[in-house]
Every structure is written in C-alpha cells, then in structure tokens.
Structure 1
Amino acid sequence: MPTSGIPGSRALARVNRSSLCRARVRLGEEVLETAFRQVAGPLAVPETPGAWWRGLRLLALDGTQFDVPDSVGNGDTFDGPSTGGTPFGFPQVRAAVLAEIGTRAVLDASLSGYRDGERRLAYPLASSTGPGGLVIADRGFWSVEFVHAFTTSGAHLLAGLQSNHLGTTQAELPDGSRQSVMRPGKGCPPPAAAKARACRRRRPTASSPSPRTTRPCTWARSYWTPSSTRRTS
C-alpha cells in the first residue's frame, strides 16, 4: 500500500492489510465516494504533452469490469459471469470511466452490476464534461441518446460507429467524410435526431499491424446538438 508522504505513514505501514479492509467496510460507500469526488478531476496544464488537440482537452470514455470478493452479498448485489445459469468465477462490478488522456487522471466514474450496460452507466458522466473537451469513445457507446447527453453539455464527441449505425447520408463532403442524420430507436424519448459528420480511418488489426494492410474503421464526430442547429466544432 502506498504510504509515502502521509503523516504517520510508518505506523500505517505496519497495519495488517485485512484490518484496513475491514475498516473500509465500516466507513461505508458514501464516505469513499465523497473522497473520490473531492480528488477526481483534470490535471493537465497547457504544457502537458498528449493532453490537448487544437485547444481541446482530450478525454477518454471506456468501460471495464472489476472482480470483487466471492461472497453471497456481492453475488446478490453485482452478479457475475455464468454458463447455463450456473455462476462461475468472481462477482464483478461493471464501470464506465471518464479519464483525461494526457495524464490518465479520472474525472468521473459510474459503477453498477455485471448485467448493466456500459452505455447506461456512461450517461451520468456527461455532467463532468463541458465546453473545451473532446470525448473519445468506442463504438459500443454510440446512440442518438448518448450523443445528446454529451453534446448538450457543450463537449465535442468523437465516437466509433457500428456498420448498422451510419445513419442517413445528407451530403458527401470533399474530404471523403459525410454529413449524416441518426435517429433514436423505437420507444426512445426525444431528441428526434442527431446530426454528425462521419469519416473513415484505417487502424491496424491484430493480424495485420502494417498500415498498408489495415482495415477501414468508421468514426463520427458530433457537429450539432440534437435540439438545435448549433455547430460545435
């Protein structure tokens, strides 16, 4: 456990790890969340390499899973992987995390059970973005509702697209990209549509790392909020 710089750290280093774990349980989740909220936030300064693109702060949104101790309480609360209805392995917590690319500082995070989707967990993180930020996310997050949540905060959005989420092309642009309109799925509330600029980029694959043999990957950058015609780039 890192204790360098903490007053009384020498005494703390001699404390049994299991004792610290039990003390953390007694604190409760509210205290730990409060501590997280007090320290979470961006750290990059204008001179930080890799943290900016054309004046925009680069932010990454991604999902992950954490194993938690195999207890009845954790199993009931979080669930976990199973096969044929039979659980195996540890219960798992699913998380969506918003982080600053240049410093890897975490700005916000949302936690839930194994069966909950990353996209739903990502929606609350939009409140931790704003004007001057460029949020980069993979194609698993994309939806009209997702675009609406993040662009209405004032942030720019660069997200991967699945092949069936390319929308309706409105215009082909000279640089090879296109302006598209994407509409929400059935049963979803407004916004009615999201306008975006879609382009294709090449990326290496596991079997073809050479730039000459890469396969196309479709991406989209939001240019308008769904509720207005305001250009956001």
Structure 2
Amino acid sequence: MFAPGHLGELTRLVPFEMVDDVLAVTRRTQSRVRLLPARVVMYLLLAGCLFAELGYRQVWSKLTSGLSGLPLVAPTGSALRQARQRLGPQPVQALFDLLRGPAVTSAAQVRWRGLLLTVVDGTLLTVADSAANRGRFTKQRCNHGGSGYPQLRLSALLSCGTRSVIDAVFDPVSVGELDQARHLCRSLRPGMLLLADRNYAGADLIITLAATGAHLLIRCKTGRKLPTLRRHRDGSFSSIIGGLPIRVIDAQISITTTAGTHTSGYRLITTLLNPHAHPSAELIRLYHQRWEIETAYLELKSSILGGRVLRARTPDGIQQEIYALLSVYQLLRTAMVDATDSQPGTDPDRASFTTALNTARDQIVHAAGVIADTAIDLVGVIGANVLAHLLPERRLRTKTRMIKRSNSKYQARGPTIDRRSYQATTNINIISPDP
C-alpha cells in the first residue's frame, strides 16, 4: 500500500530519503500507520503538477498504472483531499528550498567573464475562484468590472543558460514586483550579474540590489536625466544614482529583415565600471539573455499548466501547489542540464523542455526508473530523449509581439496583421554623450 509514492525516473533527483528528511524536519511525518502516508502525499502533489489537466484521483491512477500485481488501495477524492490538508504547505516549501539554486554545469553559456548570469522578473498566475481564495487573492480590475478569476504575483530569480530557479516568491497582486525583488535579494551574491528590465531601474531598488555584492545590468528609460561624469572610449559614460557609481550605455539597435529596418533606442545602466574589462558592446548583446525568464514562465504556465487555473481552493493549498510546481520545474531543468553536460560543448538552450516533460510523464505511468541500477546512469531515459531531440542552434529572428488568436471575434476584425517570423540581422551603434 506504500508503493505508489514515486515520481518515475525523477525519483532519483528527489529520492525517498530526501522526502523523509523534509517531513521529519517540518514535523509532518504521520503519527500512525495510514493508507496514505505523508511520503506518498508528497509524491502525489509533485505528480499532480506533471498532470495538471487531471484530478488527483486520476493522478493516483497514473501513479499506480505501472504497479500491477501489488496490493494497492483506491482512495476516494475526499481521502486524498484530507491527506493534502494534513500535510500542509511547509514540507513542499522545504523541499523546494533544497532543490532551488543554479544548476551545476560546465556550460560556458551560464557565465560571462567569470560572472554568473541571473535574471529577475515577475508574472501573474490565476487561482481557483473560491470564497477562501478570494479572501486572500483579489481579482484584477478590468474595463468590464474585473477578471474572472483571482490572481497572484510570482517573481523569480533565474540562472540564465540553464533557466534553473535560484529563488522565488509569490504574493497577492497588491504586492508589487519591486517589493518582491527586495525579498529576492536574499539570494543574490557577489560573483553574479543580474539582468532586469526598466521596471527595476528605481534608485532605491538599485542601491538595495547593489548592496548584495552582485553586479547589475538594468535597462532604464532613454530620457532619464543622468549626469555625465566621465566619457569612456567604448562610448559609455560614468554617472551616479543615489550616491552609487554606475556606468551608462546608450545605443541604437537596428533590426533588418526582408520587411525593412526597425530602430529603437536602448539605455543600460551597470555597476560594472571598468570599460576595458566589460566593454559596452558586449553588455548590449548580453542583455538579450534577459528574455530567458519569459521563456521559463512560458514553460511553467503553458507547457506544464497548459494555461489552466491552479486547482487548489484554499490559500494553504495554493501555497502547497505552487511550491510543488516550482519543484517539478526545477527537477526537469536539472535532468536536462545533466543530459547536455554529458556532451561537452552542448548549449543547454538546445534542450527541449517539452521533450523532458512528456518523457517524465511516461516514466511515471510506467513506474520506470524509480530506483537506480547498480550502474548509475546520470543521463537516464529523460536525458537520452532530450539528447535525441536537441533543438537546432538558435538563429536570430524577429516577430511582432502579439497573440496568434484573438480573444474576441470583434478584435479579430480590421486590417490584416502580418504574423510571420523573419530571419534578421542586428546592428548596434553605441552613442557617446556630447562633450
């Protein structure tokens, strides 16, 4: 009856001993023998994130489908709900704290001139519309009275290249991204380079982020008035924000396709003050990696959740579900990095998240790879499938940022919109300030 507690091949990354230790530390180990012990419930929550379209009874069927011949129980939906409530969110949060952090890799893409590339940004997640959730999470105001579901704000600190989660916080939407960024400062360290968009360019926040010892590369408004203290040969100039010395890089970036050329201005501020050690042209090109966090949120919200609402109907259940979701995402990312690291020189960016996700689901259904063989295979079936279906080298392409399908038939009317992608070339022109 204890056999269903597994996560397929991903169990090797979150083994029984790790789960038991988390339960012991958080004092959630069951006090008496149960048909649904705490360890099994932990794995059920993780498996539920891999099958977001299914109810927990159906997830249980997935966990047990490969365990024929064993004396298994068939718990009711009520029993599964009570088991999740007994467990609470603390063990899942403690598990995420063990799993989070930059993935250990030899790939050169995660570092630039010795600095670990990181990125911070926020997104919104939709939760179930229940009375308990509405008491904690509010609905966004819209033109027609409000959104259909309550929402929460999630902010994450990610490692570029591997897109592994270093830290994450979530709150009601009344808490802004800047406040969440201050909480994420606990995970910033010297030796990191943090990329962020214009929302994080406030003087107070910049000083707070820089106090961690991490270096910053943040975009700000091109019209922002910053004093020119010294001009450098690479086109950048020294300035100051709130008493903090910074370097400013102004550039015109032109993207040329068969449809024409589009040019826009960029202004970056950085705490990397030496233009010889950190040239401005390289920093401009490096800043493009900030978009990796958008891809990570796409993988969370679209690939894993399939655009669905979080299923929990209480705030504690939401907390439990999000930490399980972040843990599963981190496990998949770890398996992908282990695979690409087995082939030196392979860019982690070429690993397909969808391939890893679907293979992990299959391994759960077959209850395969739960216990490692005597000969340890770090790649495993998930890694082998990832390596067999590597994405091509990324080419520079551009596309207007828009949805492919209109949310309303009335919005779909009007002039024809060009939705094609174009191969592109980019030209960067550093603009020096006037003497």
| Same-fold status (TM-score > 0.5) | yes
* Per-residue deviation, 1:90: 1.3
| Structure 2: gaps (5+ residues) | 1-5, 17-39, 44-59, 65-73, 279-435
Q: Percent identity?
A: 26
2:63 alignment partner in structure 1: 13
**What is the distance in 2 between the residues matched to 1:20 and 1:92?**
25
Could you tell me which of 131, 150, 157 is aligned with 1:72?
131
**What is the distance in 2 between the residues matched to 1:221 and 1:56?**
13
Quick check: 2:152–2:173 contact (8 Å CA) kept in 1?
yes
1:3 alignment partner in structure 2: 7
**What is the distance in 1 between the residues matched to 2:81 and 2:225?**
48
Could you tell me which of 246, 262, 282 is aligned with 1:213?
262
The alignment's TM-score, normalised by the length of structure 2, stands at 0.44
1:188 alignment partner in structure 2: none
User: Cα–Cα, structure 1 residues 69 and 220, in superposed 2: closer, same or farther, change >3 Å?
Assistant: same
Over the aligned positions, Cα root-mean-square deviation in angstroms equals 3.3
The alignment's TM-score, normalised by the length of structure 1, stands at 0.78
* Greater RCO, CA 8 A, separation 6+: 2
**What is the distance in 2 between the residues matched to 1:211 and 1:141?**
32
Alignment of 1:113-192 (within 5 A): 113-183=172-242
Quick check: 1:208–1:214 contact (8 Å CA) kept in 2?
no
User: Cα–Cα, structure 1 residues 3 and 151, in superposed 2: closer, same or farther, change >3 Å?
Assistant: same
Quick check: 1:55–1:132 contact (8 Å CA) kept in 2?
yes
User: Cα–Cα, structure 1 residues 169 and 88, in superposed 2: closer, same or farther, change >3 Å?
Assistant: same
- Between 1:2-11 and 1:89-98, the stretch displaced more is 2-11
* Per-residue deviation, 1:172: 2.4
1:31 alignment partner in structure 2: 91
The structure richer in helix per residue is: 2
Query: Which structure would you say has the larger Rg?
Result: 2
Give the partner amino acid of 1:13: L
User: Cα–Cα, structure 1 residues 208 and 62, in superposed 2: closer, same or farther, change >3 Å?
Assistant: farther
The structure richer in strand per residue is: 1
User: Cα–Cα, structure 1 residues 150 and 71, in superposed 2: closer, same or farther, change >3 Å?
Assistant: same
**What is the distance in 2 between the residues matched to 1:62 and 1:137?**
7
User: Cα–Cα, structure 1 residues 84 and 155, in superposed 2: closer, same or farther, change >3 Å?
Assistant: same
* Per-residue deviation, 1:209: 9.4
* Per-residue deviation, 1:42: 1.0
| Structure 1: gaps (5+ residues) | 184-192, 225-231
2:426 alignment partner in structure 1: none
The number of residue pairs the alignment matches comes to 214
SS at match of 2:228: strand
**What is the distance in 2 between the residues matched to 1:209 and 1:151?**
42
